[in-house]
Structure 1
Amino acid sequence: MPAADRMTVHGLTLSYFTGKLEAYLRAKGIPYRFAEMDTASFRRAGRATGVLQMPQIEMPDGRWLTDTTAIIARFEAEAEGPSMSPSDPATKFVSLLLEDYGDEWLWRPALHYRWSFPEDMTLMSSQIARTMMRDLKLPFWMKRQAILRRQRKVYLAEDGVTSETAPQIEALYLDTLDAMETVLAKRPFLMGERPVEADFGFFGSMFRHFSSDPTPAGIMRARAPHVALWVARLWAVSPREVAAARLPAEAPEDLAPIYAHIVSGYLPYLAANDRALAAGETYVSYEVQGIRWKVPVNPYRAHCLAVLCGHYENLDLAAREKVDRLLPGAAEVLSARCRSNVSEVTPSGDGRMVSRPLDRQWRGQNRQA
């Protein structure tokens, strides 16, 4: 395909969600051109979609796509190539839940390791100064310091990272590595022989953060070598290899440690965030394993909960019973959200191809690195 006929992925080579999207496009066999963003192209994409985040896809005809979860859903429905979504309804729901969890709940430890540790923060602030800020006529040291101050403020101080919460954040990374190592020592991908939404949801943090940044990468190599192998495998897998493997027929039970984190931590947080948004609050307070958190309300995650609830509500009784058996307690949040119908929000840049500005406050915080 001529380069002019390919979509353009605008992002950064160190970006969480850019890596996730690129891995999906490579495995699916969808050709694209990568364009490293600078501040001008970041603003240009924001003007096109109304949301300042990355990555964003620019189509050859000038239309745009954003939000990796919605992009994947759209391409799964419309694009040629091997399917990355299980056909069994219960299995597909679990894959989508894992994808959402990987995207949103591993975000904090990924940013904590990047911006809390001296070697990591020095390296990554330098890389962003050289890439994202390359079009600014400022001294390099000034760009690096501006990035460092901004990232630590937004992704640490404003996201509840303190001396009290940091051990829990780091424990989540270690627990996740241990759970993934157990299953990936037995099979190539999280749910079976073929990558699905769940793999790409976990890949964003594992690829561009945990396997790349010095501190978490050292931990991964020592503690979870099969996770490191899975990172390389998912980046390298070809559409032909994907098509030759079977989609998972059921959700594996050996992901139970991750299911437990979803039920005990992530879903209760989503419910609390949803209630706070509906009440017009600025912050949401919740508790995980005895640690009290207070973080800004996140409208996008209310949307995430609404989407998960919709998928759950559409399951037939037999499929719901399978999900409920794997994730005891999840139905309490998902069913309650369906019944209450609160915080019915529609995301800006939700994966639709758009050519007009939308709500610029959607994400609540820019998804960059």
Structure 2
Amino acid sequence: MAEGYRIIGAEMSPYSVKIRSYFRYKAIPHQWLLRNTASQAEYDKYARMPIIPLVITPEGTGIQDSTPIIDAMEKLHPEPSIHPGDTVANFISALIEEFGDEWGNKWMFHYRWARDVDQRASAGRIARMRNPAASEEKHEAFAAQVRVRMVDRVWFVGSNAMTTPQIENGFVEMLGLLDSHLASRPYLFGGRPAFGDFGLWGQFYELWTDPTAGALIEGNTPHVLDWVHRMLWPRAEGAFESWTELAPTLMPILVRQVGRQFWPWTLANETALRQGQEEFSVTLGDKVWTQKPQKYHARSLGMLRAKYADVADKSALDMVLAAAGCLAGLRA
């Protein structure tokens, strides 16, 4: 095995580019390999699950799942830290990372496959990345297969006729809130990228590369656009800010997006899985959201609860979480 890590991923995978951005920030020697016909044999050798990214260590071990990958690498490469020293900001960063992975993915997947122009663009890109040497005839046939398969899977993130307005209105609102927050700082938690940046940015990067969502970002939110570009090769430009400094513009995101939308959904999803429901409905704000349960999310919620349990003094944190509507269920 050559020195350094090997990352097998895809440019159109939010979790893959999330890991690539992290490795770049940490200056960890690595190779970025697209998962395609050329890398498939190596992927099959080390992957335990059919997901990307796959990180292959210099010792020849395969690691999967973006959040545990970062947690593991942070222990080996603690500097520069991605965890704010402020207790409240530190956990909120972990919460935003979870929010990005699980709720931000709804925006990304919906916009990528909801409209004809995005479907054609995305299916064609995926087909070309998976088999760059294919003839035009084979490329078009494979792109058509990808389009049918992926459009048929939008239900997985809860995208349907009922939830479409909630997803799209929520994304537009988030763009405005995020642009305001990033107007006075380069990253979510101050002068350097935090855990939360990597999780949320992966989704926003993918949204930016697609026609419809990309136009919304390019045309309306210059600070979000700068952040999307900055996170491709992130670097420390200053220190983390305290929660007091962050709260005026980050708290509205917690209340209106995480507390009113994501958190009720995540607890309802957990209940549906525990009760073996085929479908569940939950009121988010003043709208009813209906979808099939997402099995993996119960595991990531468990990891977030473990991080909450590790906080020694929760007094200030609990006040913030309660005000945001995110405290219930963390103690379970």
> What is the TM-score when the length of structure 2 is the normalising length?
0.91
Residue in structure 2 matched with residue 245 of structure 1 by the alignment:
238
- Measure the CA separation in 2 of the matches of 1:77 and 1:170: 38
Deviation string 1:229-285 (CA, Å, 9 cap, x unpaired) is 1111122334xxx2x622333362121222012111211111111112222333333
Tell me whether 1:331 sits opposite 2:327 in the alignment: yes
Q: Conserved in 2, the CA contact under 8 Å of 1:324 and 1:330? A: no
| Structure 2 CA distance for aligned equivalents of residues 40 and 283 of structure 1 | 39
CA contact (8 A) 2:8 2:34 kept: yes
Alpha-carbon distance change, 95 to 323 in structure 1, aligned in 2, over 3 angstroms: farther
**Corresponding letter in the other structure for 2:328:** E
Partner of 1:292: 288
1:31 maps to a residue whose letter is: P
Taking structure 1 as reference, are residues 60 and 314 closer, same or farther at Cα in structure 2, changes over 3 Å only? closer
- Offset of residue 143 of structure 1: 0.3
Q: RCO greater where, 1 or 2, for CA within 8 Å and sep 6 or more?
A: 1
Task: Give structure 1 regions of 4+ aligned residues with deviation exceeding 6 angstroms.
Answer: 135-138
Tell me: CA distance 1:323–1:23, structure 2 relative to 1, closer, same or farther (3 Å): farther
Which deviations, in whole Å up to 9, do the C-alpha atoms of 1:32-90 show, x marking residues without a partner?
10111126745753563421111111123220111111111111122253111112332
SS at match of 1:287: strand
Match of residue 301, structure 2, among 301, 305, 313: 305
Q: CA deviation at 1:136?
A: 7.8
Residues 191-241 of structure 1 show CA distances to partners (whole Å, capped at 9, x for unaligned) of 11111011111111111x222111111111111011101111122334xxx
Partner-residue secondary structure (3-state), 2:33: strand
Give 1:259's aligned amino acid: L
What's 2:43 paired with? 45
Structure 2 counterpart of 1:106: 104
Q: Distance in 1 between matches of 2:200 and 2:87?
A: 21
Structure 1 residue 135 displacement after superposition: 7.7
Match of 2:223 among 214, 226, 229: 226
Aligned mate of 1:125, from 123, 137, 161: 123
CA distance in 1, matches of 2:319, 2:189: 18
Normalized against structure 1, the TM-score is what?
0.82
1:269 equivalent in structure 2? 265
Cα pair 1:46 1:53 within 8 Å, conserved: no
2: distance between equivalents of 1:46 and 1:116? 31
Q: Deviations over 1:150-209 (max 9, x none)?
A: 11111x2444322331111111211111111101111111111111011111111111x2
SS of the residue aligned with 2:243?
coil
In 1, the alpha carbon distance for the partners of 2:241 and 2:105 equals: 26
Q: 1:164 to 1:284 in 2, by over 3 A?
A: closer
Output the CA distance in 2 between the equivalents of 1:10 and 1:114: 22
Amino acid at match of 1:165: T
Number of residue equivalences = 327
Residue 26 of structure 1 corresponds to 24
Q: 1:39 to 1:104 in 2, by over 3 A?
A: farther
Indicate yes or no: 2:152 matched with 1:153. yes
Assess if the C-alpha contact under 8 Å between 1:160 and 1:295 holds in 2.
yes
Residue ranges of structure 1 left out of the alignment (5+ in a row):
339-369
Q: Using the alignment, how far apart are the partners of 2:23 and 2:328 within structure 1?
A: 35
Q: Tell me the alpha carbon deviations over residues 312-332 of structure 1, each in whole angstroms, 9 at most, x when there is no partner.
A: 223234x34334335523222
